[in-house]
Homo-oligomer: A and B are copies of this chain.
Amino acid sequence: MAGNSFGTLFRITTFGESHGRALGGIIDGCPAGIVLDEKAIQEELNRRKPGQSAIVTQRKEPDTVEIYSGVFEGKTTGTPIGFAIHNTNQKSKDYSHIKDSYRPSHADYVYDHKYGFRDYRGGGRSSARETASRVVAGAVAKQFLKDIKVTAYVSQVGRLKLETPYQQLDFSEIEKNPVRCPDPTMASQMEEYIKSIKKEGDTIGGVITCVIQNVPIGLGEPVFDKLHAELGKAMLSINAVKGFEYGSGFEGVTQKGSEHNDQYNTDGTTKTNKSGGIQGGISNGMDIYFSVAFKPVATVLQGYDTIDKEGNKVAAQGKGRHDPCVVPRAVPIVEAMAALVLADYTLLAKGNKI
C-alpha cells in the first residue's frame, strides 16, 4: 500500500488505522514564513469530528492534533510539518462480526485478498478516519493560500436537491445548521430526512458542491495534470465518493457548443462560467466549482447475509455508531483536498515562465 501521499511540491503523506495508536501525517513542501494559526487547524478538525449533532455518528473521538515539527516561533520554517492525532477511544470492542466475515460494499474482502490479512478493527486503514489527517493538512494549505477561498456545502441528500446556483447562496449560513447546507429551508428538510433514515437504521447518499474563489489565472499543468483532473482525483480519493463533475458537468453534454461557450468580457472574465473556472486544464480567474457524489454509508444497523473467509454463508448484524449520511462531516474533507490541490498547483505554477 504505497500511495499514501498526495501532491508534488506541497505534499501530504498520511498514516494510521481507525483503531491504531495514532493517525497523522507529514506535510512536506509548505513554504517558510507562514504565520501558522494552530487553533484554526484544530477548528477545521472539529468540523469533521463525530458527535457534533444529532445527525452524525455519536462516537467520541476528541481528535486533538499535535504538531511535532516544521514550525518555529509561530511560523513555518520550510521543513516538514509532522503531526499526530492519538486515538483515545479504541478500547477493546467486539469485532467478531467484522473479523470473521465480510461486510457488504466494504473493503474487508479486497484487503484480505490484496494483503493476505487485515487490521479489522473499525475498518483499519480503509476507515474514513484517515481523512482526519487530510483535514489537518488542508487547514495548513488554506493558511498558505490566503486569499484563495475554498467553500464547500451540502447540495443534495437523497433526492432532496438544492437547485439554487451557488452565486445566489449565502455561504455564511453553511455552518449554522448541522447539515451544512446554505439554504435554511432545504437544510431543515435534509435534517429531518436524515433523522428519519437514521431511525430506520439505514443510510443515504448525498452531494457536496465546492466553490473556489479568487483563483489567479494560470494554475494547472495542461495535458495529464489538468487542474480539474487533479481536483477530480483528490475528490475521488475520499471514502464513499462515486462521481465528480465540474463546471457544466454531466448536464453540459446536452448543450450545443453555441450555447455552452462562455463569451468574453473585455477584461478577460466571461459572461457565463460553464467552464467552471478552468479552460484547457488551466484556471482562467473565474470561480472554480464542482460537485462530488457520495454513496450511502455501507454500514446499516440491520441484519444482513454475507460470507466468511471460507466462503460460508453467515448472517450478521450491523452495529456501532455510524453516520446515517456522510456528507455533513465530509464538507471539511472536500475543502481540505481542494485546498491541497490549489496549494500544490500554486507552487507548480512558479516555474512556468522565465
| Interfacial residues, chain A to chain B (CB-CB below 8 A) | 1-6, 8-9, 11, 13-17, 20-26, 28-29, 31-34, 66-70, 72, 75, 77-82, 84, 102, 104-107, 109-111, 113-119, 124-126, 130, 144, 156, 158-159, 197, 200, 202-207, 217-218, 220-226, 228-230, 232-234, 236-237, 239, 242-250, 252-258, 260-268, 270, 274-276, 279-284, 293-300, 302, 304-307, 311-313, 347-354
- Tallying the copies of this chain within the complex gives 4
**Option from B110, B144, B257, B275 in Cβ contact (under 8 Å) with A203:** B257
A106 lies within 8 A of B205 (CB):
no
Most buried by B among A20, A67, A220: A20
Q: How far is the CA of A17 from the CA of B222 in the complex (A)?
A: 12
- Inter-chain contact B217/A15, CB cutoff 8 Å: no
Q: How many Å from the CB of A260 to the closest CB on chain B? A: 5
With A and B bound together, what is the CA distance between A68 and B130 in angstroms?
A: 13
Besides the contacts A105-B275, A243-B245, what 4 more A-B pairs have beta carbons closer than 8 Å?
A: A15-B69, A32-B117, A107-B280, A250-B250
| Docked-complex contact A203 and B256, CB < 8 angstroms | yes
Across-interface contacts of A126 in B (CB, < 8 A): 222, 280
Pair B224/A6 contact, Cβ less than 8 Å:
yes
User: CB distance A4 to B223 under 8 Å?
Assistant: yes
Q: What are 25 A-B residue pairs whose CB atoms fall within 8 Å in the complex?
A: A1-B77, A2-B348, A3-B28, A4-B26, A4-B28, A14-B26, A17-B72, A32-B353, A77-B125, A78-B114, A105-B275, A156-B253, A204-B256, A204-B257, A229-B234, A230-B233, A232-B233, A242-B250, A242-B252, A243-B252, A253-B293, A253-B294, A260-B298, A261-B304, A268-B311
